[in-house]
Structure 1
Amino acid sequence: MKLHIKLFDVIPARFNVALMMFFACWVNYMLRVNMSVNIIAMVPDDHKATSVKSECKAIVNDDGLLYNDTTAVVTRRDIRQPEGTVTFNWTAQEQAYVLSSYFWGYAITCLFSGTAAELWGPRKVVFFTMLLSAVLTILTPQAARLHYVMLVVVRLVIGLAAGFLFPALHALVAHWAPPAEKGKFVSALLGGAIGTVVTWSLSGPLIETFGWGAAFYVPGAIGVVWCAIWWVLVYDSPVKHPRISAEEKAYILEAIGDKVQQGSKDTKVVPPFKSILTSLPFLAMVILHYGSNWGLYFVMTAAPKFVSSALGFNLTSTGTLSSLPYLARMIFSLIFGAIGDRIVKQNVVSTTFMRKFFCLFSHIVPGLLLIGLGFTGCAPILSVALITFSMGSNGAATLTNLVNHQDLAPNYAGTLYGIANGIGNTAGFVTPLVTAYFTKDGNGFAEWRPVFMTGASLYIASAMYFILFGTGVTQKWNYIAPVEVEEDKRANDNNTTTTATTTTTTTDTTINIPNKT
């Protein structure tokens, strides 16, 4: 065992941490999105084929383009499984409960999970929550066979556990990422895109060969193995890592400086919630994050429905097409992350300028592409391209809303991200309601344009608000007074007996908290 650990330690410790964070997001998404695919096999459709006709045929014919009067799209859901596989006849409403229960729990724990990671340590929080998610995923088939309500409960608990992951990972980034490498670290948190693609690709063959239960057992087992590797390779900070080289530790600590408490006995302090919640820069970051989340949920849900219902083309029927936006966002995030790190190394512009400038790519360009999507007409290829590049351009969020909390208060990065993400995830509930409101009377272009305009407006408006009120300057409430100094002060205050002693004590215990600019 020690030999294998030493082989890993040939690689820099911070690279191991970043790599394990990438796979944490990968595995998390495997456990998150598997239900949306598996439920098709769990509740097979009695109607083997459906024919969908689109209003686009008339519009396109007027221009002499692709479609004709007899064009129809046929979608088949013919699921092959081993003989004797148990299936269910749940209603559409019951299936909706199963699919949405994960996100009920996820939105709840996001709000306080960052604080939990800062108090208990992100390593432990990630390990136990991921282990719980993996074990419950393995038990999911048994829960489904008992009753769909049991399945809802299991998925709810998995969501509650998953809500701890990303805030805890952001708390880890604050301790491990030198400023010149922060873009790459944050880009690693988009590994969920690969997890989505792998899950969608893996589930089909597993279901056809072994039945839908295997599509839960395999991701769950992968999650358990990942947890074991995580516990060996990852520690809360360079100071706590038992095998990190002295050179690497010194480099990380010097690069991060005094913005993050890195002592071997880190001070566990309750975040200054009053200062956080009354901070205008923090509010600007939350609004920027909400705009990004709205756009992401919108592109993932409403845009595919638009292509399907308005154009008569089923985007999700082809695995490659349905995964393109996710892959584009991950690839673009790596590119933007590398660009950001390069800018930091050269020190040519301020952090605030960089955060605001890249809002152009993370929010404004995606918003403009959504507007264009409402005017593409019956051009499925162009529509898919706009959806893909809209989400891909949002990969620049690694330099804006996904990292700004690290600028404001790296000591409380998990708390800040958790609050922002908890609020931002409400967009997952709101966007379907907005879509349903505008499309209740039909699925033509007239009905869909206001939907796209709403999404684009939130993208662009949140960016403009951040450009006006956001900042990349570390806030004064980030800094933690050393415990030893506070204890000395209390002891000296208790033992003071003379004026001279009092004067000396006051001088010795003055806490000089730097005002970072």
Structure 2
Amino acid sequence: MILTPPSSTSKQKSLFGTRHLQCFLCFCCLSVAYALRVNMTVAIVAMMDKNATNPNFEEFEWDEQKKSFILSSFFFGYVVTQIPGGQIAQRYGAKFVLLFGILTCSLMACLTPICASLGGWKLVAVLRIIQGMVQGCVHPATHAMLAKWAPVEERGALGTYCYSGSQFGTVVMLATSGYIAQSSAGWPGIFYISAACGFVWSIFWVIFSASTPADHKTISPDERKFIETSLGHTETTHSTHLQTPWLKIATSLPFFSLIVVHCTHMWGFWTLLTQIPSYMKHILGMDLKNSALLSALPYTFMLLLSFFFIFLSKVVANNKKISLSFNRKFFNSIGHWIPMISLIALAYVTKEHSILAVILLTLTVGINSATYLGFQVNHIDLSPNFAGTLMGITNGAANIMSFMAPLVVGFVVTDVKNPIQWRMVFFIAAGFYFFGNLLFVMLGKTDVQSWNSVEDELAKRHSKRLSMFDVEDAAHELKKPDVS
């Protein structure tokens, strides 16, 4: 049950409170996580560049299949820890989970240059698998944080603020990595600098974060009351006391549609994220430095559009006739079907129209940000108590697609200079976008599910039994003779 916040705490809506600080720290966490995740995307181009302008660092003779395997290896580990990460964050709090994930991933980034020299592509792939494993808990733990810190009426906005960090980290890493690779630091500097950011973030996270409002030492009583009242619970009904209803989750149609739309989204998103530098270099004929900058452009647009969509969602929400369900599906349709159309158009753009190709790529990736107000917060809509676990399930399934996508590109694109082969890659991604959103529109829901809370389920059953007793009592009274 969702309770309305009392008027005495309504003023908290307009203030920068502790909940906003937690969201900012999560924004920085995701920025660092994605910087550590995508640093290989541009670094590997420099590592394989035989014509590198900086001869002081080793170059590697890896073919496209080995390159695709390295880019995909992150996800081999990433999918394994999604559900365990959600469960651990749900039971013991998200603070430690996020700290462990970023620290370990940063350490692996530091070891990448020396491991590449000693063990070649195989050892680099092993490091990426470990990085994937420790980062597998980041999204579920972030969802667990949002479920405890984001009031219902601010859920979409705060969720978008947090997850826009992934675009910020991607933009910064893609925009700067080309320059770093050609500087005195060379391509190893890409890994060292991103790792240093992770170590610095960890210090601030330890000092200023908390898994729940109740755990935070400096939160004001009014803000804590505002958050907990909006969420309809107090700390005595924490999800740490609830058993995960696996069977009910597995048989939920709204949740099934959420899994599918998340999977199809990640296929399209990661196909573009991992392949844009190669596409720009081999098809559009752009050098590494320009490729890095233009690769960052779509994610810059995505970052900016995410804030525009927050504003648009508030305008839509002010219309009381528009339901939350329509709101989620409307923005998700924008985030998937417009990119679907632009991908199909992109498939027919030639090298002579490279500016148009950049515009379409920017549009395709940028408008994806609308999904932050669509399916990407739907886990919390369906079940605030198990949001971390639900995100772990869908993100785990989705990232099977994430590591399959670069592998498929490696098999489809046997000649990196063949535009027809790249056209097939874009057609496949467009098809996934269409099907996933269609199913979400048809089956997706925003109602809190009965299996969200044991207490809610028991109350529902008790109410049903009482109603049956009332009917039986009424029937019994009708059978009694009228003695008046």
TM-score, length-scaled by structure 1: 0.77
Instruction: Tell me, yes or no, if the aligned pair for 1:186 and 1:337 is still in contact at 8 Å.
Output: no
1:19 aligns with 2:33: no
Between Structure 1 and Structure 2, how many residues are aligned? 445
1:250 aligns with 2:225: yes
Instruction: Please report how far the alpha carbon of residue 122 of structure 1 lies from its aligned counterpart in structure 2 after TM superposition.
Output: 0.7
Alpha-carbon spacing, 1:335–1:252, altered in 2? closer, same or farther (3 Å):
same
Instruction: Tell me, yes or no, if the aligned pair for 1:22 and 1:191 is still in contact at 8 Å.
Output: yes
Which residue is 1:215 aligned to?
A: 190
Alpha-carbon spacing, 1:313–1:129, altered in 2? closer, same or farther (3 Å):
closer
Letter in 1 for 2:196: A
Match of 1:129 among 101, 119, 139: 101
Alpha-carbon spacing, 1:330–1:374, altered in 2? closer, same or farther (3 Å):
same
Q: Distance in 2 between matches of 1:98 and 1:40?
A: 12
Instruction: Tell me, yes or no, if the aligned pair for 1:140 and 1:216 is still in contact at 8 Å.
Output: yes
Choose between structure 1 and 2: higher helix proportion. 2
1:157 aligns with 2:161: no
| Highest RCO, 1 vs 2 (Cα 8 Å, sep ≥ 6) | 2
Counterpart mapping for 1:231-242 below 5 A? 231-242=206-217
Q: Distance in 1 between matches of 2:291 and 2:346?
A: 20
Counterpart mapping for 1:158-197 below 5 A? 158-187=131-160, 188-197=162-171
Which residue is 1:106 aligned to?
A: 78
Which residue is 1:430 aligned to?
A: 404
Q: Runs of 5+ in structure 1 lacking a partner?
A: 1-9, 49-76, 487-506
Instruction: Tell me, yes or no, if the aligned pair for 1:112 and 1:418 is still in contact at 8 Å.
Output: yes
Instruction: Please report how far the alpha carbon of residue 249 of structure 1 lies from its aligned counterpart in structure 2 after TM superposition.
Output: 1.1
Q: Using the aligned pairs only, state the percent identity.
A: 33
Instruction: Please report how far the alpha carbon of residue 266 of structure 1 lies from its aligned counterpart in structure 2 after TM superposition.
Output: 5.5
1:115 aligns with 2:120: no
Instruction: Tell me, yes or no, if the aligned pair for 2:90 and 2:240 is still in contact at 8 Å.
Output: no
Q: Which moved more, 1:295-304 or 1:127-136?
A: 295-304
Match of 2:450 among 450, 461, 476: 476
Instruction: Please report how far the alpha carbon of residue 469 of structure 1 lies from its aligned counterpart in structure 2 after TM superposition.
Output: 1.0
Q: Distance in 1 between matches of 2:166 and 2:214?
A: 29
Instruction: Please report how far the alpha carbon of residue 131 of structure 1 lies from its aligned counterpart in structure 2 after TM superposition.
Output: 1.6
Letter in 2 for 1:153: V
Instruction: Please report how far the alpha carbon of residue 441 of structure 1 lies from its aligned counterpart in structure 2 after TM superposition.
Output: 8.0
Counterpart mapping for 1:99-498 below 5 A? 99-148=71-120, 149-187=122-160, 188-204=162-178, 206-207=180-181, 208-258=183-233, 262-263=235-236, 267-301=240-274, 309-310=282-283, 312=285, 317-344=290-317, 347-377=320-350, 378-435=352-409, 439=413, 447-481=421-455
Q: Distance in 2 between matches of 1:440 and 1:238?
A: 53
Q: Distance in 1 between matches of 2:412 and 2:131?
A: 33
Instruction: Please report how far the alpha carbon of residue 324 of structure 1 lies from its aligned counterpart in structure 2 after TM superposition.
Output: 1.0
Q: Distance in 2 between matches of 1:16 and 1:473?
A: 28
Instruction: Please report how far the alpha carbon of residue 244 of structure 1 lies from its aligned counterpart in structure 2 after TM superposition.
Output: 0.5
Alpha-carbon spacing, 1:96–1:300, altered in 2? closer, same or farther (3 Å):
closer
Instruction: Tell me, yes or no, if the aligned pair for 2:92 and 2:240 is still in contact at 8 Å.
Output: no
Give the SS at the match of 1:209. coil
Letter in 2 for 1:215: I
Q: Distance in 1 between matches of 2:212 and 2:269?
A: 32
Q: Which moved more, 1:89-98 or 1:194-203?
A: 89-98
Instruction: Tell me, yes or no, if the aligned pair for 2:71 and 2:274 is still in contact at 8 Å.
Output: no
Q: Distance in 1 between matches of 2:81 and 2:311?
A: 31
Instruction: Tell me, yes or no, if the aligned pair for 1:182 and 1:341 is still in contact at 8 Å.
Output: no
Instruction: Tell me, yes or no, if the aligned pair for 1:337 and 1:398 is still in contact at 8 Å.
Output: no
TM-score, length-scaled by structure 2: 0.82
Instruction: Please report how far the alpha carbon of residue 88 of structure 1 lies from its aligned counterpart in structure 2 after TM superposition.
Output: 5.4
Alpha-carbon spacing, 1:436–1:35, altered in 2? closer, same or farther (3 Å):
closer
Alpha-carbon spacing, 1:134–1:300, altered in 2? closer, same or farther (3 Å):
closer
Q: Which moved more, 1:111-120 or 1:296-305?
A: 296-305
Q: Deviations over 1:412-459 (max 9, x none)?
A: 111111111111112223334554565558965655544433322221
Instruction: Please report how far the alpha carbon of residue 200 of structure 1 lies from its aligned counterpart in structure 2 after TM superposition.
Output: 3.5
Letter in 2 for 1:33: V
Q: Which moved more, 1:213-222 or 1:292-301?
A: 213-222
Which residue is 2:40 aligned to?
A: 35
Alpha-carbon spacing, 1:167–1:316, altered in 2? closer, same or farther (3 Å):
farther
Instruction: Tell me, yes or no, if the aligned pair for 2:142 and 2:388 is still in contact at 8 Å.
Output: yes
Give the SS at the match of 2:53. coil
Instruction: Tell me, yes or no, if the aligned pair for 2:282 and 2:416 is still in contact at 8 Å.
Output: no
**TM superposition outliers: structure 1 runs of 4+ over 6 Å:** 510-513
Q: Distance in 1 between matches of 2:237 and 2:455?
A: 15
Alpha-carbon spacing, 1:222–1:264, altered in 2? closer, same or farther (3 Å):
farther
Alpha-carbon spacing, 1:230–1:422, altered in 2? closer, same or farther (3 Å):
same
Letter in 1 for 2:330: F
Letter in 2 for 1:13: T
Alpha-carbon spacing, 1:96–1:350, altered in 2? closer, same or farther (3 Å):
closer
Q: Distance in 1 between matches of 2:370 and 2:320?
A: 19
Letter in 2 for 1:291: T
